[in-house]
Amino acid sequence: MKKNSIKNTRINGEVQRELSNIIRSEIKDPRIDPMTSVVTVEVAPDLKTCKAYISVLGDKESQKKTILGLKSAEGFIRGRLAQTVNLRNTPLIIFVLDQSIEYGVNMSKLIDSVNKKTSSDEVSSSDEVSSSDEDSSSDEASTSDENTNNDKEN
């Protein structure tokens, strides 16, 4: 079976759904943060191993505690997974902390800060341009007034 076959994709989705349900409703470990989600699951084609990418909303300490709690409850999770998902082999679960959501939030903040800086720079530069336009138009007006006064004198 190929890694990205239709069968493997369906198995990944089913394992992810059940793993999410088990973590959310059946594990009572206080180390596991309530804002824990299963981002993606990659089951090996031989169904022996499974990498579960876990995202935890919180600080670094709660992320570490959650991963430790999940690793200690791996046997229970694997047993519940065997009962709910009918597979030839129940995969050994490897929990990996997924930083992609946090990384995305940080990138969003950086992009927003750059956009703020460029918009404020554009506003200040447009103010400078408009004030210099006003200065030059007032200079032209005073020059034309002087020219008309010189014409009247001649």
Measured distance CA(40)–CA(29) in Å, rounded: 22
**83-124 pLDDT, tens digit each:** 999 888 899 999 999 888 778 888 999 999 998 888 877 766
Q: CATH second-level architecture of 6-98?
A: 2-Layer Sandwich (3.30)
**45-88 pLDDT, tens digit each:** 999 999 999 999 888 899 999 999 999 999 999 999 999 998 88
Q: What is the pTM of this model?
A: 0.67
The pLDDT assigned to 116 comes to 86
- In a 3-state reduction of DSSP, which class is residue 46? coil
Measured distance CA(44)–CA(1) in Å, rounded: 9
Read off the DSSP letter of residue 90: P
Measured distance CA(63)–CA(34) in Å, rounded: 11
